Structure 1
Amino acid sequence: MNFQRHRRLRSSESMRALVRETHVRTDDLIYPIFFVEGERIKQEVPSMPGVYHVSLDYLEEEMQELVDLNIRSVMVFGVPDHKDDAGSSAYDHNGIVQKAIKKIKSGFPQLTVIADTCLCQYTDHGHCGIIRDGEVLNDESLSALANTAVSQAKAGADIIAPSNMMDGFVAAIREGLDEAGFINVPIMSYSVKYSSAYYGPFREAAHSSPQFGDRKSYQMDPANRLEALREAESDIEEGADFLMVKPALAYLDVLRELKDRYPLPLVAYNVSGEYSMIKAAAQNGWIDEESIVMETLTGMKRAGADLIITYHAKDVSRWLNR
Structure 2
Amino acid sequence: MARLVQFDQTGGPEVLTLRDVEVGDPGAGEVRIRVDAIGLNRAEIMYREGAYFYDPVFPSTLGYEAAGVVEAVGEGVTGLATGDPVAVVPQFLQTDYGTYGEHVLVPASAVVPRPADIDPVRAAAVWMAYVTAYGPLAESGRVRPGDHVLISAASSSVGLAAVQIVRHIGAIPIATTRGPGKKQRLLDAGAAHVIVTDEEDLPARIKEITGGEGVRLAFDPVAGPGVETLAQGIAPGGFLVVYGALDPRPTPLPNAQSFPALTSSTYTLFEITTDPERLRRAVAFVNAGLSSGAFAPVVDRTFDLADIAEAHRYMAANEQVGKIVVTVGHGATTA
TM-score by length of 1: 0.29
Structure with the larger strand share: 2
Relative to the length of structure 2, the TM-score reads 0.28
**More helix per residue:** 1
